[in-house]
Amino acid sequence: MDDTPLDAPLDVAALRRGLLAPAGPLAWLDVVETSASTNTELADRARHDPHLAAPGALVAEHQVAGRGRAGRTWETPPRAALTVSVLLRPRLPAPALGWVPLVAGLAVARTLGDVGVEARLKWPNDVLLPAATDAGGLGPYRKVAGVLAEVVPGGGVVVGIGLNVSQSAGELPVPTATSLALAGADRPDRGRLLGGIVRELTTAVGQLEQAGGDAAVAGVAEAYGRLSATLGTAVRVELAGGSEVVEGTAARVADDGALVLETADGERVVTAGDVHHVRRAP
């Protein structure tokens, strides 16, 4: 039986042995005790050093002002979550960059599947776990992870991932969230999860590169669709700034990662940048 405490620090030496080239996909890996936001910190590094090697990853044991979409912030208890930002320099046409956050969510879901946890994807940036009760706009799911991607100078993209690992219900920011521990995962190991996510993410981006940015040819569009909790459902999309609400059926993901809705007035395409909330329709 593994007696390692759930809040044990990451084994940085072991992670570097497994994830740094030539054994793994990363050029560098930094683990810090505390960060306000790994995305902010890594994006700042990339702006100050346009030649910063990629792929590289910054991990925080304790994130105190994490950033989400639409300026949302949150704090994670020390060593209770996996908070990592990865610098990529994907060789992709600009429209295909919209798939990068989607394949990041796919990387998380695939990694959770490898450790026996069934996960689903909510467009554009959430990873969900099945729940026994309905959570309103999420349906029968709870959010276990989120993704935030931002473009930085020099052709780089910083992809931030926050995965709830061992939090109790009282340590989560909202009632619609969950953690792997609450979902019944058997002693989730943050180091193993980090390794899986990094490998899955870099592999998926490499597949996109080899396919010239075509997500269908790369196979990631089909993989994403199989794990989607959004496609095929009736949704209510609140656009940024409260400018409009669009209702329809989520039909497919477009070539650039946008969501295509079938509405009463015909097809409507919304991009992640357009959207404040995507919820299941009542």
Domain ranges of the chain: 12-227, 234-280
95 pLDDT higher than 50? yes
Percent of the chain with pLDDT over 90: 76
- What CATH fold (topology level) applies to the domain 12-227? BirA Bifunctional Protein; domain 2 (3.30.930)
Query: Residue 63 pLDDT > 90, yes or no?
Result: no
Could you tell me the pTM of the whole model? 0.94
Tokens of 8: 């044990």
**pLDDT mean over 215-233:** 97
Alpha helical stretches, state H, 115-259: 190-210, 215-218, 220-227
CA distance 40 to 67: 8
Report the pLDDT value the prediction gives residue 1, as an integer from 0 to 100. 42
CATH of 234-280, picked from 2.60.120.260, 3.60.20.10, 3.40.718.10, 2.30.30.100, is 2.30.30.100
CB 56 within 8 A of CB 87: yes
Q: Establish whether the linkage from the previous residue to 124 is cis, with ω within 30° of 0.
A: yes
**Domains 12-227 and 234-280 belong to one CATH topology:** no
Average pLDDT over residues 173-181: 91
| 5-60 confidence digits (pLDDT tens) | 667 899 999 999 999 999 999 999 999 999 999 999 999 999 999 899 999 999 99
pLDDT score of 67 more than 70: no
**What's the pLDDT band for 207 if we cut at 50, 70, 90?**
very high
**Cα distances (Å, whole numbers) of residue 45 to 23, 56, 183, 255:** 25, 11, 36, 31
Say yes or no to pLDDT of 69 above 80: no
In Å, the largest CA–CA distance within the chain is 58
Q: In whole angstroms, what is the distance from residue 17 CA to residue 20 CA?
A: 6
* Whether 69 contacts 160, CB under 8 Å: no
Average pLDDT over residues 249-270: 96
Question: Which whole-number Å values give the CA distances from 26 to 51, 264, 276, in the listed order?
Answer: 15, 47, 33
Which whole number is the average pLDDT over 106-122? 96
